[in-house]
């Protein structure tokens, strides 16, 4: 008899809880805004890259003033090759985007 009363009470409470929670669970989740990648790239291009280039310039000038011209030329060549790789990657990105639009339109 006590077990039956316990089950009935538990059933009533469970039904009430499910009726209360069901609309919340059935609601559509609001889409979270994604990361603004264009903003991140423009921030790095406008704020971080000039600072890094200025630091490289100071290092190169410091080495050149100490007479380490060969190290300055080597570092400058490496920096130029790195910039060429970055420019090439950006170019390939735009060429790939153009090809995808050309093929799938």
Give the tens place of pLDDT for each residue, 3-20: 666 556 666 666 666 666
Choose between 58 and 23: higher pLDDT. 58
Contact 13, 21 (CB under 8 A): no
Give φ, ψ of 74 to 5 degrees. Answer: -65, -45
For the chain, domain boundaries: 43-105
Contact 72, 64 (CB under 8 A): yes
Contact 44, 51 (CB under 8 A): no
Determine the pLDDT at residue 92. 85
Give the tens place of pLDDT for each residue, 54-94: 888 888 888 888 888 888 888 888 888 888 888 888 788 88
Give the tens place of pLDDT for each residue, 28-49: 666 667 777 778 878 888 888 8
């Amino acid at each position: 008899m006590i077990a039956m009363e316990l089950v009935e009470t538990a059933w009533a409470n469970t039904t009430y809880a499910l009726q209360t929670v069901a609309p919340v669970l059935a609601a559509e989740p609001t889409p979270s805004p994604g990361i603004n990648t264009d903003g991140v790239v423009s921030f790095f291009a406008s704020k971080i890259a000039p600072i890094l280039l200025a630091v490289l310039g100071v290092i190169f000038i410091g080495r050149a003033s100490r007479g380490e011209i060969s190290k300055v030329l080597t570092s400058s060549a490496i920096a130029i090759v790195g910039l060429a790789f970055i420019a090439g990657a950006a170019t390939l990105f735009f060429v790939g985007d153009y090809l995808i639009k050309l093929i799938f339109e």
